[in-house]
Amino acid sequence: MNQPTVISTFAGCGGSSLGYKLAGFKELLAVEWDDNAVETFKLNFPDVPVYHGDIAALSGDECLRLAGIHKGELDVFDGSPPCQGFSTAGKRKFDDPRNSLFNEYARLLTELQPRVFVFENVTGMVKGYMKQAYLQVIKTLRECGYKAKGEVMNAMYYNVPQSRERVIIVGVRNDLGIEPSHPKPQTKPMTVRQAFAGITGSGDCPGMSAQYKQYWQEAGPGGSVGKQKSHKRLLWDRPSFVLQKAAGYGGVYHPSEPRPLSTIERKRLGSFPDDFRFTGWNAAIERIGNSVPPNLMLAIATHIREKLLA
C-alpha cells in the first residue's frame, strides 16, 4: 500500500510524530500552540508543516488545505488533548475548562473524517467518578461516525523503560466495517540500568540545592517523599517512574547519585533517540513529561498500519 498519512494535533515536541515516522507514516500536518514545543518540533521535523496556533481557530477546511488532502482521504487523525482536569496528579474536575479542548479534537475529527483516529489521555479520566467523563468522550467520538474502543496501555510493555499508563482510544470509521483494536504487550519491562547503558557522567545536570539533596536521601532507592510524593528516586533494576513535566528538577532523581537526571538520561527513559534535539535542560523536562513516548506510539501506529489500514 502507499505510505499511510497522519495529522497530529496537540503535537507537542513530536513524541507521537516520531512514533508514526518510525512506523512508516507520512505526517501531513502538526498542530500545536506552545512556542517552545513548536520550536522543538521544527528542530526535529523540519519537513513537516506546522500550524502554530490555537486549535479552536483552525477550521476543518483550512486543516485539509494545509495538509493537501480532501475530506475522507486521511488515514489517521491523532491527538492528545490536554485534560489536566482528568489527571490523578491534581484535583479531578469533570467541568474543568482545560478539558474543553477535547471538543475541538472531536470537531476536527467530524470535519476531516479520517479512516482511523487515535486519542491519548491520562488514566485519571477512567478512575472513580471521572469515569463519566470517559464515557462521555467515547459517546462523542462514536457520534462523529466511528466505532471506538479504549484501553489502558502501559508504555513499559512497548520498549519504553518507564512505567507510564495512558488511556488510548482507537476509532475506525463506520463505513469501513472494521473493529478497532490495540497492540498486545510486546516486551518485558526495561530497567533503568539497561536504559542508561553507555552513558557516562552527569551530562547537563545543574547543581542541586541542599533541600533537594535531602529529598534524594530521605526517599531512598525506589522511594518518594514530599508533597504528593512528587520527589522520586529511581531503582537501577526497575523501570522508571512516570517522568513528570514539573516538580522541582523534574521530580525523578538518579538512582545512586544525589542529582536530577540529565537530558540524555531523560531521553532514554522517554524512548527518545539520543540525537533528538531540545532547547535546554528545563525545556526537555517539560517536553518529555508532556509527550507520548515514541516507542509506545510506534507500536500503536504499526498495529494500525498492519491491522486496520491493510
Active site residues: 83
Strand-pairing partners, residue 170, are 118, 149
Other Cβ atoms within 10 Å of 193 Cβ, number: 14
Please, are residues 269 and 161 in contact by the beta-carbon 8 Å criterion?
Answer: yes
User: What are the phi and psi torsion angles at 76 (to 5°)?
Assistant: -135, 130
Cα–Cα distance, 114 to 75 (Å, whole number): 5
Residue ranges of E strands in 74-186: 76-79, 116-121, 146-154, 165-173
User: What are the phi and psi torsion angles at 233 (to 5°)?
Assistant: -110, 125
Per DSSP, the three-state class of 108 is helix
Distances (CA, A) of 154 to 38, 183, 208, 238: 27, 11, 31, 14
Cα–Cα distance, 178 to 159 (Å, whole number): 27
Of 15, 80, 26, residue with least CA distance to 294: 15
Please, are residues 112 and 7 in contact by the beta-carbon 8 Å criterion?
Answer: yes
Grid coordinates of 108: 476536527
